[in-house]
Structure 1
Amino acid sequence: MSKPEHRVKGVDHAAFPTFDPVGTVRFYRDVLKFPVVHSICAAGWGPERHPDFIHFFFDIGNGDRIAFFYYFGFQPPGGAGGTGDAYATFTDDVPQFFINSRHLAIHVDDEQDLLEYRRRLDESHWPVEMQVMHETIESVYTHDPNGYLVEITRSLRPVTPQEDLDAALTVEALVDVASGPEPSMDKLLARKAELIVQRATGWEQEQERAGGAKEMTRP
């Protein structure tokens, strides 16, 4: 049975830049109760002079996600700053990586579908500009006729509960670091390591208590 012409499965994620990661996490995670489900710590990624960044995702239901980019050391263009200014009018001073962080990602089921959309794009006036294998997804990218970045993506494998936990720790570390002076990727990774050690102690104690309880219940 052949596949239909229309193969996409809705929105995988919509992505935006943020200058206020602490407020963003508090709003989506703490106020709206959208769980943190994935994060990518990208150090030394991209073309020359591309800053380190963290890309973090919230579950908004039905398999859809909203995602944000926080760029370490990148100051708001034109002196902008504060709530909402990440979405202000762009100027010539805004680098392309920041503009591209505002994009739509469309989900497809498998590699066959991804390559089919690559073929369609490559045969059009808007050929694929890059194809990237991320941690858990593979994506192709192009700009639409309006200049908006569009991503078509497939899952490489299911995201594990352990990865969800890693994302939660990463975002918690981001909130701690971004609340202080001169946040950086190095500071984030160091803080995340501290949180892992702290949590590991608690997990070990829980395991010991659980083991003791089992011993007490044996006949």
Structure 2
Amino acid sequence: MIHHLAITPKNFDVSHRFYTEVMGFELVKIVKRQAMGGSKAGWTKHVFYETAKGSGSYFVLWDLHLNGFEQDEDWDPSISVGLGLPWWINHVAFEVEGLDELEAKKQHWLSHGQKVSEVVHEFITSIYTRDPDGNMVEFTTNTRPLTDDDKAEARELLADDEPASMPDYPGVIYLPDGRIIEAPSSE
């Protein structure tokens, strides 16, 4: 199990509001220390949010106050676009218990003005939105257990370097104004 994942937002206050109000995470701990290199290097806050009550799983934002570190106005903190990748590649998925909780999360996001994409995969159903820095975040739930056949297929596909013939999954996009857009597969 992953204990925590830490990222650096462009604007800590905006991201703090997003992860507490929109994602529904609870602020549970802050570690405030001098930066590596001592007081001359500056200081940091390592801000822990519990992703689900009692889960022991945390999402962490850095609040940086580093001496000599000037954040370029064009700096992109996105974990995908900032690396030159499409926005949907690197993302973080948080597990919820069942389709009812997933639906509640979707409605919560919509009530906060978020655009929400929903995709039914082979073994999970997921909803997606983006944080203030453009990082894709996901809530997901298992819809069936993985089997020995899934594991055997995974071993086969690991060695398969042929282009995929299966299109991407179709999805549905929910807009805060109530509109629903069918997103066809990538055929």
Higher helix share: 1
TM-score using structure 2 length: 0.43
Larger RCO, structure (CA 8 Å, separation 6 or more): 1
TM-score using structure 1 length: 0.37
Higher strand share: 2
